[in-house]
Amino acid sequence: MDFSNHSPILLAALLATTFVLTLPFGAWRATCRKFTVKWWLAIHLVIPFIFLMRRWGGFSYWYIPLFLTSTVLGQIVGGRIPVNKHPG
């Protein structure tokens, strides 16, 4: 479990990208009724992209808690973005 061979700048960039990528999904989730298919998709649709970024960056499964935290924070902050729930 040697963490010294990973770039902290790359890790910070990927965590920030994860956060920003999750924001619109959090905004979408906030407009959906809980426990529906749309709500579930708003939470989980972004996960494969985050997995690919983590793997592309060469970060092992030991870094999943950091990426999960960034994802949850993106969902929470995104859910607070004001969205017009009923356009028109």
What SS3 class is residue 82? coil
Which pLDDT band holds residue 32 (cuts at 50, 70, 90)? very high
* Overall number of domains in the chain: 1
Residue 65 lies in a domain: yes
Confirm whether 7 is domain-assigned: no
10 assigned to some structural domain: no
Residue 70 lies in a domain: yes
pLDDT in tens, 39-62: 999 999 999 999 999 999 999 999
- What global pTM score does this model have? 0.84
Structure tokens at 40: 């579930």
Residue pair 66/11 in contact by the 8 Å Cβ criterion? yes
Query: Is the pLDDT at 4 greater than 90, yes or no?
Result: no
Q: Report if residue 8 sits inside a domain.
A: no
Residue 6 binned pLDDT confidence (cut-offs 50, 70, 90)? confident
Examine residue 87 and state whether it is found in any structural domain, yes or no.
Answer: no
Does the pLDDT value for residue 1 go beyond 50?
Answer: no
Domain that holds residue 37: 17-79
